[in-house]
Chain A
Amino acid sequence: MKKPLDSAELNADDGSLLIANISRRAFLKDLALTGLVLAAGFPMLTRADETAVSPDPQKYGADAMPHGWVDNPLVFVAIATDGTVTIICHRSEMGQGIRTSLPMVVADEMEADWQRVHVKQAPGDEVLYGNQDTDGSRSMRHFFMPMRRVGAAARSMLEAAAAAHWQVPVQEVIAKQHQIFHPASGRVLDYGQLAAAAANLPVPDRETLHLKKQEDFRYIGKGQVGIYDGQDMVTGRAQYGIDTRLKDMFYAVIARPPVFGGKLLSYDANEALKVPGVVKVIELKSSPPPAEYNPLGGIAVIAGNTWAAIQGRNALKIEWEKGPHGSYDSLVYKAELEAAARKPGKVVRSEGDVDAALQSAVKRVEAEYYAPHLAQAPMEPPAATAQIVDGKCEIWACTQAPQVSRERVAKWLKLSEDDVTVHVTLLGGGFGRKSKPDYVIEAALLSQVMDGKPVKLTWTREDDLQHSYFHTVSVEHLEAGLDRQGNTVAWLHRTVAPTISSTFGPDSKHQMPMELSMGVINVPFAIANLRIENPEAEAHTRIGWFRSVSNIPHAFAIQSFVAELAAAAGCDPKDYLLDLIGPPRRIDPRTLGDTWNQGESPVLYPVDTGRLRRVIETVTDAANWGGKLSKGRGLGLAAHYSFVTYVAVVVEVAVSEDGKLSIPRIDVAVDCGPQVNPERIRSQIEGACIMGVSLATLGEISFREGAVLQDNFHAYQLTRMDDAPREIRVHLLPAAEYDTPLGGVGEPGLPPIAPALCNAIFAATGQRIRQLPIRDQLRKD
Chain B
Amino acid sequence: MTTLTINDKPIKIDLPADTPLLWALRDFVGLTGTKFGCGIASCGACKVHLDGVPTLSCVTPISAAVGKKIVTIEAIGQDEIGKKVQDAWMSLGVPQCGYCQSGQIMAATALLKQTPKPTDADIDKAMSGNICRCGTYCRIRAAIKQAAGISEVTV
Contact = CB atoms under 8 A, between A and B. Distances in A.
A208 interface: no
Given A234-B98, A307-B19, A429-B97, 12 more contacts: A230-B98, A234-B101, A236-B102, A305-B28, A306-B26, A379-B131, A426-B97, A428-B99, A460-B39, A461-B40, A683-B93, A726-B120
Chief secondary structure at chain B's binding surface: loop
Nearest to A460: B39
A279 B117 CA distance: 51
A530 interface: no
Contacts of B100: 379, 428
A371 B72 CA distance: 40
A238 interface: yes
> Which 3 residue pairs of A and B lie closest in terms of their CB atoms, listed nearest first?
A236-B33, A690-B135, A428-B99
Contacts of B28: 305
A533 interface: no
Contacts of A680: 93
A236 B89 CA distance: 13
B150 interface: no
A20 interface: no
A380 B138 contact: no
Which of A230, A235, A430, A726 has the largest number of chain B CB atoms within 10 A? A235
Contacts, number: 191
Interface residues of A, number: 68
A688 B95 CA distance: 14
B11 interface: no
Interface in B47-102: 72-74, 77, 86, 89-90, 93-102
Interface stretch (A47-55, A239-247, A566-574): A239-247
A226 interface: yes
A235 B33 contact: yes
Contact of B74 (A237, A242, A726): A237
Given A234-B86, A722-B124, A724-B138, A379 B132 contact: yes
Nearest to B96: A95
Interface in A567-584: none
A767 B20 CA distance: 47
A226 B32 CA distance: 24
A721 B89 contact: no
Interface of B: 15-16, 19-20, 23, 26-28, 30-40, 42-43, 45, 72-74, 77, 86, 89-90, 93-102, 105, 120, 123-125, 127-141, 154-155
A690 B131 CA distance: 11
B101 A233 contact: yes
A276 to B, nearest CB: 6
Contacts of A682: 155
A686 B35 contact: no
A714 B40 contact: yes
A175 interface: no
Nearest to A251: B27
Given A429-B99, A724-B135, A307 B31 contact: no
Given A234-B86, A307-B23, A461 B38 contact: yes
Nearest to A462: B39
Interface string A678-700: 01101110111111001000000
Given A461-B37, A686-B138, A722-B124, A713 B96 contact: no
Contacts of B132: 379, 690
Contacts of B127: 720-722
A305 B38 contact: no
B22 to A, nearest CB: 8
B52 to A, nearest CB: 18
Contacts of B97: 93-95, 378-380, 426-430
A26 to B, nearest CB: 15
Contacts of B135: 686-691, 694, 719, 724
Contact of B38 (A240, A689, A712, A719): A712
A355 interface: no
27 contacts: A233-B101, A234-B86, A235-B33, A235-B73, A235-B74, A236-B31, A236-B32, A236-B33, A236-B73, A242-B35, A242-B36, A276-B16, A305-B28, A379-B35, A380-B97, A428-B99, A429-B133, A691-B134, A713-B38, A713-B43, A720-B128, A720-B129, A720-B130, A721-B123, A721-B130, A721-B141, A724-B135
Contact of A379 (B33, B120, B134): B134
A661 B128 CA distance: 17
A312 to B, nearest CB: 13
Contacts of A430: 97
Nearest to A427: B97
Interface in A87-111: 93-97
A559 interface: no
A227 B139 CA distance: 14
A721 B37 CA distance: 17
Contacts of A310: 39
A393 interface: no
Given A235-B77, A687-B136, A721 B16 contact: no
A593 B34 CA distance: 50
B37 to A, nearest CB: 6
A426 B130 contact: no
Contact of B90 (A230, A276, A429): A230
A277 B18 CA distance: 13
Contacts of B96: 95-97, 429, 683-684, 687
A234 B35 CA distance: 12
A757 interface: no
A132 interface: no
B90 A234 contact: yes
B93 A226 contact: yes
A461 B133 contact: no
Interface string A707-723: 00000111000111110
A145 B126 CA distance: 45
Nearest to A718: B131
Contacts of A713: 37-38, 40, 42-43, 131
